[in-house]
């Protein structure tokens, strides 16, 4: 299950990768402590700058060893390496699992909330897709 959640985390990033920014995007927990980064070249790192994955512009997502672990579709559907749907990122910031059960929300101001609307993190200046990656799928 950890591999599956890692897969979702990394591939959801692709939604925001129509063009990378020059700097790394920083993710913070509810206390504003840094929990991870997404580098301008698509490298995904944890808080210690350890590489945990790679995002390719074609929607392919790879683990730290460059093994393909999943795919992302333009409609927000997240799939594993076998193209089985494992989650959804909605345009309004709603994050859902494979059964369309809401597991969280990304607010327009970058506030990240769980399904009960409790703030669990901050991703100011980061797209909702990137925020969903770190807070709902990878750092559980």
Task: State how far the Cα of 137 lies from the Cα of 26, in Å rounded to an integer.
Answer: 16
Calculate the alpha carbon distances from 106 to 36, 52, 81, 93, 127 in Å.
Answer: 17, 22, 26, 5, 9
Task: Report the C-alpha gap between 22 and 134 in whole angstroms.
Answer: 20
pLDDT tens digits, residue range 102-118? 988 989 888 889 899 99
Q: What is the pLDDT of residues 7-31, one digit of tens each?
A: 444 444 433 333 333 366 787 888 9
Q: What is the mean pLDDT of the chain?
A: 76
Which range has the top average pLDDT, 28-32, 35-39, 122-126? Answer: 28-32
Q: What CATH code is assigned to 2-138?
A: 2.40.160
Give the residue, 43 or 113, on which the prediction is more confident. Answer: 113
Residue 44 has pLDDT above 90, yes or no: no
Return the domain boundaries, the chain: 2-138
């Amino acid at each position: 299950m950890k591999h599956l959640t890692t897969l979702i985390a990394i591939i959801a990033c692709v939604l925001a990768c129509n063009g990378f920014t020059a700097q790394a995007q920083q993710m913070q927990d509810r206390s504003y402590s840094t929990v991870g980064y997404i580098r301008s070249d698509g490298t995904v790192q944890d808080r210690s700058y350890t590489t945990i994955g790679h995002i390719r512009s074609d929607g392919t997502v790879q683990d730290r060893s460059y093994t393909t672990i999943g795919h992302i579709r333009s409609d927000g559907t997240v799939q594993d390496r076998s193209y089985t749907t494992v989650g959804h990122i909605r345009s309004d910031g709603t994050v859902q699992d494979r059964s369309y059960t809401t597991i969280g929300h990304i607010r327009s101001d970058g506030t990240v909330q769980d399904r009960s609307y409790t703030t669990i993190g901050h991703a100011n200046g980061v797209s909702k897709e990137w925020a969903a990656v770190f807070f709902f799928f990878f750092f559980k």
